[in-house]
Amino acid sequence: MENLQVGQTERQSPHSPHVAVTQSASIPSVGGWHLVELASRSELADLYRARPAHASPDRLPSYALKVLRPQWETDPRVREMFRRELHLGRVIRNPHLVAVLGGQVRQPPIYLITPWLEGKTLAQCLAQGWRPDAPTALWIARQTAEALDALHQAGWMHGDIKPENIHLGPGGHVTLLDLGFARRTKDAGTWLDRCVVGSWAYLAPEWASSVYRPDIRSDLYSLGVVLFQMLCGRLPFEADNPSEMTAMHRQERAPDVRRLAPETPRSVAQLVQRLLAKEPLRRPQTPEELIDQFVRLEIATFAHRRWTVDPPVGSRSTGCLLETAPRSEYAAKELAAKVGGQK
């Protein structure tokens, strides 16, 4: 890995929106995989576009390799995160949950293999000024909840729901990323058990409390923060440091969505308030319950859909227009059939 050269070509990866990335002819191979392009870097890992080493050089690099950076290879907590992500990504299968195809976690180099996802993260879209209408925001949140339901059914929670971990494909398909912070619900502890950077704005109050243990309802709270952000264009709570942010999540009532985004249907705003309830018992209790509410609201608010998305000032397009009108009409019919089947 010491041959990696940085600084030739900057790109942005759908997996990690805020990092300068590079391309270099000297990028090495790892574990039978040819690393075609360095797509993004984080503090813990480098993300590459890759193809099998035996494949033709003309073959499209359709895989992603997340390679643990050498300085973390002896850290047992970080290695456990990779081991956990490998296990869950292989045994829990859902169209909206990232699939881990393989990897190496017992000895260096430590890496994970996933399909390469075209598109952008929700964080990238929001940073470009994109504001989805209520039906589209519900659609994104519902697909995320379906991934959470798959984890919940297997006895796990995600533990790090935020826009950076919600990937939007070109047609609007949502994939929930990064299972490294996932944990069995019965084993979930407090924030003292975690080392989280950049997620404080989305953590449920019980992560910093001894009254309630975090569980799947904590993920639903975080999803409520994401939904609030999509609808309002800002977070419900804004602070200068994690301690202040945590206190706001524990003590302050979130602003009314309709005060910040008056066009939001009242029923949608009410659901957001339920998701952001301080006490877990006042929230939807399972992803399945929440999915049912999302489905009904998607249909009820279909008339609020905008058929075009205005790009931010100074930009031609965000690239985040998720659907065409015919696809949306098909989706509405599909949702109507689902609701009919639930009656």
The letter for the amino acid at 323 is E
- Pairwise CA distance, residues 288 & 239, whole Å: 32
Task: Label residue 241 exposed, middle or buried (CB < 10 Å: 0-12, 13-18, 19+).
Answer: exposed
Own/partner long-range contacts of 199-202 (Cβ < 8 Å, ≥24 apart):
199/160, 199/162, 200/242, 200/245, 200/246, 201/162, 201/225, 201/235, 201/237, 201/238, 201/245, 202/160, 202/161, 202/162, 202/226
- Preceding omega of 57 cis (within 30 degrees of 0): no
Nearest to 320 by CA among 114, 98, 104, 172: 172
The answer to whether the CB of 116 falls within 8 A of the CB of 63 is yes
Q: Name the E strands within the chain.
A: 29-30, 33-41, 45-52, 63-68, 102-104, 111-115, 120-121, 156-157, 166-168, 174-176, 183-184
CB 147 within 8 A of CB 173: no
Give the Cα separation of 233 and 130 in Å (integer).
Answer: 8
Which residues participate in catalysis according to the annotation?
A: 160
Q: What's the longest Cα–Cα distance across the chain?
A: 61
Instruction: Residue 287: count other Cβ atoms within 10 Å of its Cβ.
Output: 26
Query: Nearest-CA neighbor of 254 among 238, 242, 233?
Result: 238
336 burial via Cβ count (<10 Å: 0-12, 13-18, 19+): middle
